[in-house]
Amino acid sequence: MRAHSSRKRQHEGEPTQTPLPRNAKAGPSAVIVPALLGLIVVGVTLFAHWPALSARAITIDDQEYLTDNPLVQHPSWASAGRFLGEVLQPSTVSGYYQPLAMISLMLDYAAAGRPDNLRPFHRTSLILHAANTVLVVVLLYMLFGQPWIAAMVGLLFGVHPMTVETIPWIGERKTLLAAFFTLWCLIVYVRYARRPSWKLYATCLVLYVLALMSKPTAVPIPVVLLTLDYWPLRRLSRPAVIEKIPLLLIAGVSAIITVISQHHLELSAMNSFSAGQTFLLMCHNMVFYPRNMIWPIHLSSFYAFPENIGLSNGMLLAGVIVNAAILSLLAISLRWTRAVLAGWLCYFLLLLPTLLNKNYSPSIAWNKYAYLPAVGLLLVLGWLLERVWSSRTQARRIPHHLGVVAVVAVLAGLLVTGTRHYLAHWQTTEKLCDYMLALAPNSYQLYNDLGNVYNDNGDYDRAIQACTRAIELKPDYAFAYNNRGIAYNSKRDFGRAIRDYTSAIESKADFAKAYNNRGLACYNNRDFGQAIRDYTKAIELKGDYAEAYNNRGKACNDIRDFDGAVRDYTKAIELRPDFALAYNNRAFACGIMGNYDRAIRDSTRAIELRPDYAEAYNNRGNAYNNLRDFSQAIRDYTKAVELKPDHVEAYHNRAIAHFHLKEYDKAWADVRMVRRLGGTPNAGMISALTNATGLSE
């Protein structure tokens, strides 16, 4: 009877070995072998992804997560509090609640991470990926009781090219963190299923909440746990369903928060698909990711939507047919095992939240979306390998095991090569954009991103070309108009810049950045009234827009509304306490108003924030000059010209300070330097110097 029961259990797809750790054999090997295998897996995973540490590419939404995010760039308890407290209305990142991901990036910024030094961010992401790989190994070891099986499957996950973009893509910290807490939740749940206790259950709840606070795509976890109850835990029952009710309630709350947060931001759909088209795209993506896992060639961080979304499109028709075939095979597989159905269900459930967002995605699919859902397919792979591993008699088992290990090692080697090859494209933003455009040559989003790159590099002519191509492909693309406007503004072609910003606003009425940028172009065109109106509109649309407050302050300053200027600079500083430019601008306004002590304090703060800030030294020198502390003024002007040797104003101001100290030779030297740099010395000062020395230039 016992032998018959054992054969039946194996026939139904349960592990042939006793799952660990419940009945693990005692002895050092029970710990040493899994530990050594785990270290090997981690070592190979780190080797495969090591080039990510030197990646410098900024992509897609990294601006929101890093380069344009004032809270990330100002690490503090206050910033962390805002990330945690802005539940229904995240102010610095579009969309859903993800405070743990944002706090994690903030901590990396505190550890010297910067837009021009991405290594601290990539280091943390690589550590998280290595940790997730270990957690996959632990989970499979607990389910199958085979350390070699768990290590081999975990290795294939850890080095796979499909996992690449979660590491160098700054904004995908959320995916890594959500996977980290989710995997821990699954591990603790397996432990709970075998040795129930309220402590383990409470730990599951906490880990689930942490996963949701990293990325709300972890919502389906309660149903995934029920699937594990079905297989391989085989404890699915009414009590098992009831115990998931707290988890399901948490899932419901998270889903509501996600919907409300996106609705509040009034995110307009990027695409408009019918229910039938959405179904076709879902069918496509259901098989797209497994296909890329099996054949990871020409992977990209962007996959363009097909022009024809209908059954006449062979790719989409194939997706429907393959899904129908898979469903048939899943039904047939139940005659032998629950493993395949359970693994596919886990994959589908974890992928489901991202399958439903096609209207809001610029890409038909993202490799990052398969990072956590891959766990379901890894369960099937683990089951298959366990069956192969145990398919030989004791006498032939060792050579058979060596053969299996050799095959997996070869596959892992090929995957490592693919991973490092893919990471080579992430070394610069321009290189990444060029690579993605080679695979999707008609993508307006990628041309716009390339225009961004050229703007950042100061290559404005190529930026205009790239953005113009994006506009040709999508005539109402607000972001391309905005970026082309930036290029024109940088070339001082303010008329064209204003026209492009206006087109961006007409296409996207709530585009705060376009209003701010049009304000800059109007300011440069000496239209201060329109500039102030545009800055004001930008602030109405985005209340924490520190740059717009600072810019409006400059415009108020130029129309001699110094009180208004100081108010705006002060608000900008409140929003961004490290805003050196706003401190310096406020110092300038205070100096004009005769408040020299405050001007000195603000200039000093600007210098503390930016020690190479020549303008701040010049402003502070002006304040000391007006207080008749000419020696200190000269020291500040001297520092300004050391930092900026062509600083005409600092030379001129230093000449005045030298004159007051009767250092006429030095004053004449500064005057000559002003003329050499193309400046025009003040006629009154020249006259005073001539009268004092009896000399002329």
Q: Which of 646, 648, 624 shows the shortest CA–CA distance to 635?
A: 624
pLDDT of residue 269: 56
CA-CA-CA-CA torsion for 339, 165, 79, 182, nearest 10 degrees?
Answer: 10
pLDDT over 80 at 695, yes or no:
no
pLDDT in tens, 480-537: 999 999 999 999 999 999 999 999 999 999 999 999 999 999 999 999 999 999 999 9
User: Does the structure show a pLDDT above 90 at 608?
Assistant: yes
pLDDT at 353 (0 to 100): 93
Are 423 and 49 within 8 A, CB to CB? yes
How many angstroms separate the CA atoms of 95 and 265, rounded?
7
The ranges assigned to domains in the chain are 49-265+277-422, 579-697
Rounded Cα distance, 548 and 512, in Å: 9
Q: What is the pLDDT of residue 106?
A: 97
By C-alpha distance, which of 364, 355, 538 is closest to 445? Answer: 364
Report the alpha-carbon distance of residue 502 to residue 519 in Å, rounded: 11
Burial class (CB in 10 A: 0-12, 13-18, 19+), 260: middle
User: In 3D, which of 113, 226, 134 has the Cα closest to residue 183?
Assistant: 134
Look up residue 511 and give its two tokens. 């585009």
Q: Is the pLDDT of residue 9 over 50?
A: no
Mean pLDDT computed over 546-572: 96
Angle between helices 77-85 and 99-110 (to 10 degrees): 160
- Convert the pLDDT of each residue in 215-270 to its tens digit: 999 999 999 999 999 999 999 999 999 999 999 999 999 999 988 887 654 444 56
CA angle 176, 161, 417 (to 5 degrees): 135
Structure tokens at 211: 């996963």
Amino acid at the residue 346: C
Confidence band, pLDDT 50/70/90 cuts, at residue 94? confident
| Alpha-carbon gap, residue 526 to 692, rounded angstroms | 40
Q: What percent of the chain has pLDDT over 90?
A: 80
User: How much is the average pLDDT of 365-384?
Assistant: 96
User: What is the DSSP secondary structure assignment for residue 619, as one 8-state letter?
Assistant: H
pLDDT given for residue 398 in this prediction? 85
Q: In this structure, how many other beta carbons lie within 10 angstroms of the beta carbon of residue 40?
A: 12
Which burial class, exposed, middle or buried, applies to 351 when counting CB atoms under 10 A from its CB (0-12, 13-18, 19+)? buried
Span 311-362, pLDDT tens digits: 999 999 999 999 999 999 999 999 999 999 999 999 999 999 998 777 677 8
Q: How far apart are CA 640 and CA 596, in angstroms?
A: 19
Backbone angles phi, psi at 114, to 5 degrees: -145, 165
Give me the pLDDT at residue 696, please: 62
Tokens of 541: 């649309």
Of the candidates 427, 428, 474, 424, the residue with the CA atom closest to the CA atom of residue 448: 474
Class of domain 579-697: mainly alpha
Place of tokens 């942490």: 210
Give Cα 618 distance to the centre of its chain.
38
Helix (H) or strand (E) holding 291: helix 275-294
CA distance 92 to 59: 17
CB atoms closer than 10 angstroms to residue 669: 14
**Helix, strand or coil, per DSSP, at residue 48:** helix
**Distance from C-alpha of 208 to C-alpha of 153, rounded to nearest angstrom:** 24
Task: Please give the Cα distance from 468 to 450 (Å, whole number).
Answer: 11
Q: What is the pLDDT of residues 103-154, one digit of tens each?
A: 999 999 999 999 999 999 999 999 999 999 999 999 999 999 999 999 999 9
Q: Residue 170: name the closest of 85, 83, 71, 102 by CA.
A: 102
Global pTM reads 0.86
- Determine the pLDDT at residue 92: 85
Query: Is pLDDT at 73 greater than 70 in this prediction?
Result: yes
User: Mean pLDDT, the chain, as a whole number?
Assistant: 91
The answer on pLDDT for 22 being more than 60 is no
Rounded to an integer, what distance in angstroms lies between the CA atom of residue 156 and that of residue 41?
9
What was the pLDDT predicted at 15?
47
Contact 572, 549 (CB under 8 A): yes
3-state secondary structure (DSSP) of residue 114:
strand
Q: Which residue has the tokens 């030989």?
A: 392
The conformation of residue 576, written as its DSSP 8-state character, comes to -
pLDDT, residue 5, reads: 42
